[in-house]
Copies of this chain bind each other. A is one copy, B any other.
């Protein structure tokens, strides 16, 4: 039997946000190579006979190098095994999937990508906001603040109308001052509404609402975190406002807490 590598999105953490296909593949995989961002709840779904290897990198501390990941995928596939390369969120977005695809193509190993729910979608759902809105935001830019550099820098000049685009910063890092400075420098007003969403699709989810100018006064929410900046973030209502409106504060399964800096 010919081996195959499936580059699979594990979604944002909640096992219920796995796709049906991802769940099926996890149940029949011979080997699962997973990142740190894949939640323990998802890993628990992998049946006992499968080999499960953690190949994540945390804060630049490499457990396994990118080249070793390539060698593992290719080696197992050549043994005829079904390999699931499991990544947090969607494999096409911030996952070094480009390099893994190249290695698999060069090695002539059969592969398939299985898309997943990306973190920005999960964060928006947790906050009860859209990422685009025909009235306020005609586009959404998915970027990363990992290593303290917001790459929106290349794309939004001072002439830009930032309120027309929502910016979702994946892994904004602990130094939010850098993120704030870069967005302001590129034309975003300090009054731009922001939501900092921590562990969006887990029982530990927390959401902090503030303005871009007050971003670095955010409480130290735990990783993974995602920042949503733009007019759409204003409608992510804090707990009090939701209760006034007669809503339950929390989606039933998620202990989502909202706080606001005045």
Q: Give CA–CA (A135, B99) in the complex, Å.
A: 9
A9 on interface, CB distance cutoff 8 Å: yes
- Determine whether the beta carbon of A128 is less than 8 Å from that of B108: no
Residues of chain B with a CB closer than 8 A to A118's CB: 118, 121
- Is B95 a contact partner of A130 (Cβ separation < 8 A)? yes
In the docked arrangement, what's the CA distance between A143 and B138, Å?
A: 7
Q: Are A157 and B160 in contact (CB under 8 A)?
A: yes
| Per-residue contact bits, chain A 89-107, to B (CB 8 Å; 1 contact, 0 not) | 0111111111101100110
User: Does A177 lie at the interface of the complex (its beta carbon under 8 Å from any beta carbon of B)?
Assistant: no
Closest residue of chain B to A89, judged by CB?
Answer: B121
Q: How far is the CA of A115 from the CA of B119 in the complex (A)?
A: 9
Asked whether, in the complex, the Cβ of B165 is within 8 Å of the Cβ of A138, the reply is: no
The contact size tier of chain A is 35 or more
Residue of B nearest to A117 (CB): B115
Interchain nearest-CB distance for A133 vs B (Å): 4
Residues of B contacting A62 with CB < 8 Å?
Answer: none
* Complex Cα–Cα for A228 and B152 (A): 18
Query: Which residues of chain A from 6 to 40 have a CB within 8 Å of any chain B CB?
Result: 9, 11-12, 14-21, 23-24
Stretch at the interface among A67-75, A202-210, A247-255: A247-255
- In angstroms, Cα B23 to Cα A15, docked, is 13
A102 vs B102: C-alpha distance when bound (angstroms): 45
B165 touches A155 (CB 8 A): yes
- For A140, the chain B residues whose CB sits under 8 A away are 93, 141-142
Tell me whether B161 and A159 are in contact (CB under 8 A): no
With A12-B115, A113-B125 as known contacts, state yes or no: A142 contacts B139, CB within 8 Å.
yes
Residue A82 interfacial (CB < 8 Å):
no
Which among B23, B122, B138 is the interface contact of A151 at CB below 8 angstroms?
B138
With both beta carbons as reference points, the residue of chain B lying nearest to A8 in the complex is identified as: B125
A 106-162 contacts with B by CB, 8 A:
106, 108, 110-118, 120-122, 124-126, 128-136, 138-144, 151-152, 154-157, 159-162
Least CB distance, A41 to chain B, in whole angstroms: 12
Bound Cα distance A106, B134 (Å): 19
> Is A55 an interface position by the 8 A CB rule?
no
